Amino acid sequence: METQNEQELFGVNKNNPFRVPDNYFDNLPEKTQVNIHAHENAVSKPITRIIDYLKPHLALAAAILGFALIGYTGFRYLINKNSDSQIRNREIAEYIDFYSNDVDNTLIMELLEEQEQQFIETDEDLSEEIINYLLNENIDIYTIANQL
Partner 1 sequence: MSENSYSDKELLQIFNAGDNPDYAFGLIVRRYQEKLYWHIRKIVISHEDANDVIQETFIKAWNNLGNFRGDSKLYTWLFRIATNEALSHLKRSRRKTWIPLIDLGNKLENTMEGDYYFDGDESQLKFQKAILKLPEKQRLVFNMKYFDEMKYDEIAEILGTSVGALKASYHHAVKKIKEFLTSD
What are the residues binding partner 1 (CB under 8 A)?
Answer: 3, 6, 9-21, 25, 28-29, 31-33, 35-36, 39
Least distance to partner 1 from the beta carbon of 37, Å? 9
Residues with Cβ within 8 Å of 42's Cβ and at least 6 positions away in sequence, in order, are: 48, 49
Taking the least distance from each CB to partner 1, the nearer of 10 and 98 is 10
Taking the least distance from each CB to partner 1, the nearer of 39 and 45 is 39
Least distance to partner 1 from the beta carbon of 61, Å? 19
Least distance to partner 1 from the beta carbon of 77, Å? 32
Describe the crossing of helices 46-82 and 24-43 by its angle, rounded to 10 degrees: 80
Taking the least distance from each CB to partner 1, the nearer of 13 and 86 is 13
Output 31-36 pairs: Cβ under 8 A, ≥24 positions apart: none
Taking the least distance from each CB to partner 1, the nearer of 35 and 132 is 35
Least distance to partner 1 from the beta carbon of 50, Å? 19
DSSP designation for 114: H
Q: How far apart are CA 134 and CA 140, in angstroms?
A: 7
Helix, strand or coil, per DSSP, at residue 13? coil
